[in-house]
Amino acid sequence: MEAGNIYKQVPDDLSDEVFEFLAQSEDVKIERIISKGHKSPGSGWYDQEQNEWVLVLKGSASISFENEAVIDLKEGDYINISAHVKHKVISTSTITETIWLAIHY
Amino acid sequence: MEAGNIYKQVPDDLSDEVFEFLAQSEDVKIERIISKGHKSPGSGWYDQEQNEWVLVLKGSASISFENEAVIDLKEGDYINISAHVKHKVISTSTITETIWLAIHY
């Protein structure tokens, strides 16, 4: 049984975003992401084959969508991004780390 | 896009546990569970067809396993329970509600 605490073992060096799979099967990946001021590359969109359900556990972030909607996420906020819905992360907190839980399914 | 906050819209009446699917596909269910002093029925075990990854977001709980291990879960603790690993919830906090995120996959 793989177990842990989602808030712990945060690396001191967050110059790069940190990606870690907590559990996975053939079709599903459960991932922790830690950002600090990171955002998506300036041009282009994420266009994903799978649905992604994402929850901000700590920190804050903003996601923009191709339809021009911008969603601000604070602690506890979640959003379901269906496959092929184009989006990008336009900001994450620079003050504290942002801990995401992402379910790719 | 289905969005919300995992800590909000907690019913006042928690005499029964509250189960809510936040997102799902054919093979995956993302569920919020709210307990307050609830535990599994006294006899028998949960023996599930799917894997279950579970995270305690608020409150606390203890899960026992057929091999006699007992795992205490506090805020931020997660555990992956593989399919057919028999288990039961032996306690949840009676003081505050326990908010679980469960991924059935």
3-class DSSP state of A33: strand
ipTM: 0.93
Give the chain A residue nearest B22 (alpha carbons).
Answer: A80
Determine contact, residues B105/A28, Cβ cutoff 8 Å.
Answer: yes
Q: What is the pLDDT of residues B24-36, one digit of tens each?
A: 999 999 999 999 9
Q: What is the pLDDT of residues B49-77, one digit of tens each?
A: 999 999 999 999 999 999 889 999 999 99
Chain A residues lying within 8 Å of B27, measured CB to CB: 27-28, 105
Question: Which of B3, B75, B77 lies nearest to residue A79, judging by beta carbons?
Answer: B3
The residue among B67, B61, B29 whose CA lies nearest residue B45 is: B67
For residue A98, the model assigns a pLDDT of 98
Q: What is the pLDDT of residues A31-72, one digit of tens each?
A: 999 999 999 988 889 999 999 999 999 999 999 999 889 999
Q: Please give the model's pTM, rounded to 2 decimal places.
A: 0.94
For residue A38, the model assigns a pLDDT of 95
3-class DSSP state of B79: strand
The residue among B60, B64, B58, B7 whose CA lies nearest residue B37 is: B60
